[in-house]
Structures are given as structure tokens and as C-alpha cells.
Amino acid sequence: MNPRAITGLAAATLSLGLVAASPANAATGEALLLGEYSATGTSSCLSAPGGFNDKFQANVPAGSFRSSTSSEEVWIFNGAGSVEVTGTGVGTSGVASAPSNPSTPGASGTTNSGTRKYTVGPGHVVTVTATNAKGANFAGTRAGQTLVVDKYVLQGHVSRDGATVTLATPAPAVETITLSNGDSFPRICHRSVVLLKL
């Protein structure tokens, strides 16, 4: 065979291989996130049964309290805008305005599960929206009670290969947590999550 033909054939094959591996042909949009991810996260919340003013300050400081949680979760993305999340968190709480606050510092344990919505936009920006996120307390003074958080948003970035995702609270926002014993109060939380594809 003609050496030039062999060289041309090799070059064509190499070119096809490069095209097949080109990022231009990689998954984009919501399809970039597909499959199972392991996640660790942290959150901190300021709860104010008396509500917040327009500067995100508690209206009744003496009745407010804060809590922080670390969690381990599994996120399963369907590649089309829906992600199933299950996890376990352990947290601690303390008074925000001692000594007048009647709340007692303590610890808690919570499980959570449910479906969230997500989008992947330009620049690999990921937005996750949790609506009516459900959980259950298994330790602490609220052990045995279930809970629902009305809504919160996380935003961040996904790596170009879809293997790593970082998320955090993009801006202060008031959410409402409602417990099965009838307690319901507003709070402001900031959260961060790191996801690694399994």
C-alpha cells in the first residue's frame, strides 16, 4: 500500500477519534448531571418565631435561636431536571440572644428524602430548588417528629465532565419549617454541598 495513503488513513482515524472525544459532543444542560453522587454538606440556620425585618434581623431577638448541621447524602440525577436526595444530618443548636432566651442548647439528628428540581445553564451553573423538603427527627428533643421546609435554593457549578458539583446558598432568604407537632416558624439558612460522582 502507498505510504502516503497509510499516513492519510492514520490521520483521518486520529481526527475521527479527536472529534468523538471533543467537548463539543459531551453532554450539556441537565443531561450533564446523570447518575449517583455522594454528597457532604453543612448548614447553619437562624430561626426567629417572631419573624424577620427587611434587613433579615429577628423581630424578637430574645426568642431567636441558631442551629448548625453536617450531613451525608446520596443524590441521584435523572439527566432531565429531577434529582432524588436521601441523607442523614447531625446538628447542634444554641440561643442567639442569651440570657433572656428560654431555649436550651442541644443536639439533634435528622433524616431527609425527596425529589428536587435542577437546571444546568451557561457556564455550567447549576441551580437546585427544593420545595416542601421533608425530613424526620430521630434524636434530640424533637425525636419522632417529622418536618417540612417550604422552599430553598442552592446554586453553584458542575465540572465539565459532570463528575463534581459544588453548591451553596446564593442569597439570604426566609424559609418556613413546619413540624408535625404543629410548631412552625421562619428561619434564614445558609447551606453548602459538595457532590462527587460514584
Give the per-residue pLDDT at 28.
80
Q: Nearest Cα to 133, choosing from 90, 166, 176, 99? A: 176
Average pLDDT over residues 94-111: 73
Q: Nearest Cα to 152, choosing from 109, 191, 178? A: 191
Give the per-residue pLDDT at 5.
46
Using only C-alpha atoms, the chain has a radius of gyration, in whole angstroms, of 23
To the question of pTM greater than 0.85 for the whole model, the response is: no
Residue 121 has pLDDT above 90, yes or no: yes
Residue 172 has pLDDT above 50, yes or no: yes
Which of 63-67, 98-102, 116-120, 192-196 has the lowest average pLDDT? 98-102
Is the separation of the CB atoms in 39 and 77 below 8 Å? no
Residue 47 has pLDDT above 90, yes or no: yes
For the chain, what are the domain ranges? 29-197
Average pLDDT over residues 142-168: 97
Residue 102 has pLDDT above 70, yes or no: no
Task: Output the CATH code of domain 29-197.
Answer: 2.40.160
| Average pLDDT for the chain | 87
Query: pLDDT-based confidence at 115, cuts 50/70/90?
Result: very high
CA–CA separation, 83 vs 126, rounded Å? Answer: 12
